[in-house]
Structure 1
């Protein structure tokens, strides 16, 4: 989601800058511009004295300016905190049966998942990342398959064995997972 928000914000900022720059460039070079265009010609200024001082006497002007600037600052802080937030889950809350729960390091659970996935037949390499909340983790699993591997069997084994064992051992009700399969590059065999 953060990737989508970043792309949308970057796209909107770029569109606004291109439109504003195009308007100024068109008027500044003396190109014919429509009557509703904000700038008339090369001698026109972007913001006249009357435009700058016109709203000061209105009672609603300063509260609106302050509210808009406060909203921009809050959105910028939210965006900054979202960028700095960890993508990896540091710990998983395990139900220990006493009502309190225990904390399991996220890297430990990732390591166990990697080890079990790499021990499956046909898997060359595995990478696991836990995301989400500590009470409801989610797993992103990437498997690099050897040339002789059967993708359907490997996927079934990963879901029914490695992920199921991790879910059961951590005492989780569910462990939603996204499994990505990729084929390892290899040279063609020569037949003689």
Structure 2
């Protein structure tokens, strides 16, 4: 009996699959959990948050937001040193949060923990503050979709503060160039 390990994409994750030849029945696939990547001693694993996702990083662990182009990232810095992040996308990625649901998901992940700061970074000029309460996809035929005529960092800060039930003074907004973004 021969076995061959191949990688299969399933819901955006690569899983190793073992294909085993069985003389009578043919090939059978068995999914096995992917082993964790080795992290050098003393190093902290990076938490990767892609479009439409919310995730948490323990104290000392950086967050990587890949391919921030027309997106906004929202990083909540917790009083205990950890971070909870969200990668808000103008258009919904299938199976992930829309822009009008991502702040509620982020707030739920933060829970009742004390918040030190909230940092919003990304394509500020591409975002209308209203996208956090009604996603572009939520507009019907003939409905006017609001679009930004100028960057509105103050409006975005108010929308994020309101969506997270945080004081406005705790929220900062910064326009950053396209690319991968790492928050330490």
Q: TM-score, normalised by structure 2?
A: 0.26
Bigger proportion of residues as strand: 2
Structure scoring higher RCO (CA < 8 A, sep ≥ 6) equals 2
In terms of fraction of residues, the more helix-rich structure is: 1
> What's the TM-score, normalizing by structure 1?
0.26
Larger Rg: 1
